[in-house]
């Protein structure tokens, strides 16, 4: 089937990342989908806004509604976009998304060590090293401060009720987003489907095996 006739799969990367960071994950879908990555523009405005991130998705959306998939902060952006532009999104899948405000711990050494461990045991050591270098580069020049400040403002309580074709996939061993956020969705937003990803961690870009299976299950449902 020609690529132009395939359904479009638009991925929204997590904080400080681009599509190259998620290459093993995205490559798993390229034979069946027209896969695009909604990478943010390299030049950040003084203050980040939803519209800044939405413009990255707009550049990848075609004439037909797309499948929108996002991870971490990208999951929040994907959900917000789907709620704001339902006519452009056929389905939205959010993996370990930030949903509501929470107190964030930032221990850079521990985070880097954990990333390296996951990349090593999952067999993606070389990719992991490249991915982490790319992420550090994307977070340079003051971008990290702006991205963290924006993430701290995320609250999708008014957006989640608007969604109809949405699922949140939560890693079994999630280390960043509190499990309480998923439990709140289950209690307050019955229109959102939720599921755990067995064996998975937050850093799905470095160990995508279980996440690929979970996302394929949703795509085939």
User: Which CATH number covers residue 174?
Assistant: 3.40.50.1820
Number of domains in the chain: 1
| pLDDT score of 3 | 40
Cα 207 from chain centroid?
Answer: 14
Structure confidence at residue 85 as a pLDDT band (50, 70, 90):
very high
From the number of C-beta atoms within 10 Å of its C-beta (0-12, 13-18, 19+), residue 5 rates as exposed
Q: Higher-confidence residue: 16 or 99?
A: 99
* Exposure string over 120-141, b if 16+ CB within 10 A, otherwise e: eebebeebbeebbebbeebbee
Residue 182: Cβ within 10 Å count = 21
Reported pTM: 0.85
pLDDT, tens digit (0-9, with 9 covering 90-100), for 39-71: 988 788 888 999 999 999 999 998 899 999 999
Tokens 């991205």, residue located:
147
Q: What is the pLDDT of residues 25-37, one digit of tens each?
A: 999 999 999 999 9
For range 92-111, the mean pLDDT: 76
What would the pLDDT profile of 190-204 be if each residue is shown by its tens digit?
999 999 998 888 887
What is the average pLDDT value for the chain, to the nearest integer? 84
Does 219 have pLDDT greater than 80? Answer: yes
Give residue for tokens 């085939």: 220
Enclosing domain of residue 133: 3-220
**Taking 80 as the threshold, does the pLDDT of residue 94 lie above it?**
yes
Which SS3 state, helix, strand or coil, does residue 191 take?
Answer: coil
pLDDT at res. 107: 44
Quick one: pLDDT at residue 108?
47
């Amino acid at each position: 089937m020609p690529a132009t006739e395939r359904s479009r799969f638009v991925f929204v990367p997590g904080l400080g990342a681009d599509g190259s960071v998620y290459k093993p994950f995205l490559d798993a879908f390229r034979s069946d989908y027209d896969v695009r990555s909604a990478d943010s523009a390299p030049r950040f405005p003084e203050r980040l806004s939803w519209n800044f991130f939405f413009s990255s998705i707009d550049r990848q959306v075609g004439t037909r509604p797309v499948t929108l998939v996002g991870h971490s902060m990208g999951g929040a952006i994907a959900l917000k976009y789907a709620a704001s532009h339902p006519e452009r999104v056929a389905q939205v899948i959010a993996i370990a998304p930030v949903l509501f405000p929470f107190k964030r711990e930032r221990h850079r050494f521990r985070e880097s060590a954990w990333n390296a461990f996951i990349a090593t045991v999952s067999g993606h050591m070389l990719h992991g090293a490249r991915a982490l270098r790319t992420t550090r580069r994307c977070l340079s020049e003051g971008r990290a401060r702006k991205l963290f400040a924006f993430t701290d403002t995320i609250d999708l309580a008014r957006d989640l009720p608007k969604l109809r074709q949405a699922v949140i996939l939560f890693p079994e061993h999630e280390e960043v987003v509190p499990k309480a956020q998923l439990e709140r969705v289950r209690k307050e937003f019955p229109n959102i489907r939720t599921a755990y990803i067995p064996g998975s961690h937050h850093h799905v870009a470095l160990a995508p095996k279980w996440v690929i299976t979970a996302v394929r299950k949703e795509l085939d449902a």
